[in-house]
């Protein structure tokens, strides 16, 4: 009798760190990988000089080949337009530089503070309002975190710590687990919120090491994913969300309303539907912050309001994101 010989499949699976280190960081490589003709290269190189390209393969493989209008491509493809400096588009549209009581800490809103847990991201989104952010000044060491932690400890009105960045999940799990352990020891803190795009960009980021510290914290944990288009939610993203939910994490989403990406009713409706299929509730739809280099993404307020009004006819109330704007100096986001 012939024996069944089972040959183990070679382990080709890359860790998230490997996937991140292999991300495309060069405009020419991006154009070649996606079959974009040389017409686009000069503009891409110009944009890249202002804010470097970064796209991991796990995200690239959701982008259509040779389609400059692909809604995911538009989010990552540098363009010559980024060199334009129209009036009113500025380097720090949220004036965050004004609210920093300690290194890495932003305290702008009552009851909650924002911690810049990682200076970098796994993807560079062209519309990012932090594209000019002085990150090198804002990534504290453990010793420097003490100042931020002492600040939180001394203010009992703070109930929620929000990990932000960059992308907080670009930090190592060792660092994050340490930071969360410190936060947990502050009795008046109830919630941990993580604003991240990493589970979407590289779904393998949601691995057992992450789930180990995330699943055991006493803090109620909310993850706000940043997804702008239904095409971003492929099966690996759905699976990553299921793992997060299993660990007890509440999943919300915030999108940015972006011209040429999601500024139409069927696209926004499909996004909400797809989010819910993945177990994520729509939270905010942000109007674009007027950051220099990204004016070509701007959707006027009246158009944004009209879109949301029409969207009401297509979605149940619980799948309607709140249309908001960030106004510097205001004590919360402002509904439009
Ligand atoms: C958006 C934001 C928050 C959180 O605001 P919510 O309305 O609670 O989502 C906190 N801090 C900063 C700096 C923010 O931009
Ligand atoms: S992941 Fe978020 S912070 Fe990072 S570049 Fe994209 S929008 Fe900006």
Give per-residue pLDDT as tens, 282-316: 999 999 989 999 999 999 999 999 999 999 999 99
The predicted structure's pLDDT at residue 310: 98
The atom of ligand 2 lying closest to the CA of 124 is 5
CA 64, 67, 70, 72: dihedral to nearest 10 degrees?
A: 60
Residue 80 is given by DSSP the state G
Determine if ligand 1 sits within 6 Å of the CB of residue 198.
Answer: no
CA distance 291 to 128: 8
Question: 189 and 161 in contact (C-beta within 8 Å)?
Answer: yes
Q: Give residue 8's pLDDT band: very low, low, confident or very high (50, 70, 90).
A: low
Q: What is the mean pLDDT of the chain?
A: 93
The predicted structure's pLDDT at residue 134: 61
The predicted structure's pLDDT at residue 7: 58
Determine if ligand 1 sits within 6 Å of the CB of residue 109.
Answer: yes
Q: Whose CA is nearest to atom 6 of ligand 2?
A: 125
Task: With 0.85 as the threshold, say if the pTM is over it.
Answer: yes
The predicted structure's pLDDT at residue 331: 79
Ligand 2 pocket test target in 135, 166, 169, 326 with most atoms within 8 Å of CB: 166
The predicted structure's pLDDT at residue 175: 94
* 257: nearest Cα among 233, 282, 286, 232: 286
- pLDDT surpassing 90 at residue 93: no
Beta bridge partners of 225: 196, 253
Judged by average pLDDT, the poorest of 4-8, 28-32, 63-67, 84-88 is 4-8
| Mean pLDDT of the 156-166 span | 96
CA distance 116 to 166: 7
* 104: nearest Cα among 161, 51, 58: 161
CA distance 322 to 282: 8
The predicted structure's pLDDT at residue 165: 87
Beta bridge partners of 115: 105, 163
List ligand 2's pocket residues with C-beta within 6 A: 121, 123-125, 128, 130, 165-167, 197, 226
CA distance 16 to 22: 10
């Amino acid at each position: 009798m012939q024996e069944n010989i089972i040959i183990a499949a070679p382990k080709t699976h890359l860790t998230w760190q490997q996937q991140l280190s292999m991300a495309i960081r060069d405009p020419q490589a991006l154009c070649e990988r996606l079959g974009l003709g040389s017409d686009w290269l000069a503009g891409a190189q110009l944009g890249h000089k202002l804010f470097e390209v970064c796209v991991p393969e796990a995200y690239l493989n959701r982008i259509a080949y040779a389609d400059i209008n692909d809604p995911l491509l538009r989010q990552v493809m540098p363009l010559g337009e980024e060199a334009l400096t129209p009036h009113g588009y500025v380097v720090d549209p949220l004036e965050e530089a004004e609210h920093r009581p300690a290194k890495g800490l932003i305290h702008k809103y009552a009851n909650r503070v924002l911690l810049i847990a990682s200076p970098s991201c796994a993807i560079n989104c062209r519309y990012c309002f932090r594209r000019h952010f002085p990150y090198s000044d804002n990534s504290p060491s453990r010793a420097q975190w003490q100042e931020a932690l002492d600040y939180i400890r001394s203010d009992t009105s703070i109930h929620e710590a929000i990990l932000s960045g960059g992308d907080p999940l670009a930090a190592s799990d060792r660092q994050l687990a340490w930071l969360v352990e410190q936060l947990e020891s502050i009795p008046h803190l109830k919630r941990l919120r993580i604003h991240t795009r990493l589970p979407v960009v590289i779904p393998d980021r949601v691995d057992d090491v992450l789930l180990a510290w995330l699943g055991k914290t006493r803090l109620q944990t909310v993850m706000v994913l940043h997804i702008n288009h239904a095409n971003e939610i492929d099966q690996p993203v759905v699976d990553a969300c299921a793992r997060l939910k299993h660990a007890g994490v509440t999943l919300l989403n915030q999108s940015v309303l972006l011209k040429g990406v999601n500024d139409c009713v069927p696209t926004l409706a499909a996004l909400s539907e797809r989010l819910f299929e993945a177990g994520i509730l729509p939270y905010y739809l942000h109007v674009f912050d007027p950051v220099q280099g990204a004016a070509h993404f701007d959707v006027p307020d009246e158009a944004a309001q009209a879109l949301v009004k029409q969207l009401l006819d297509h979605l149940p109330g619980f799948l309607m994101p709140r249309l908001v704007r960030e106004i510097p100096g205001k004590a919360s986001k402002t509904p439009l």
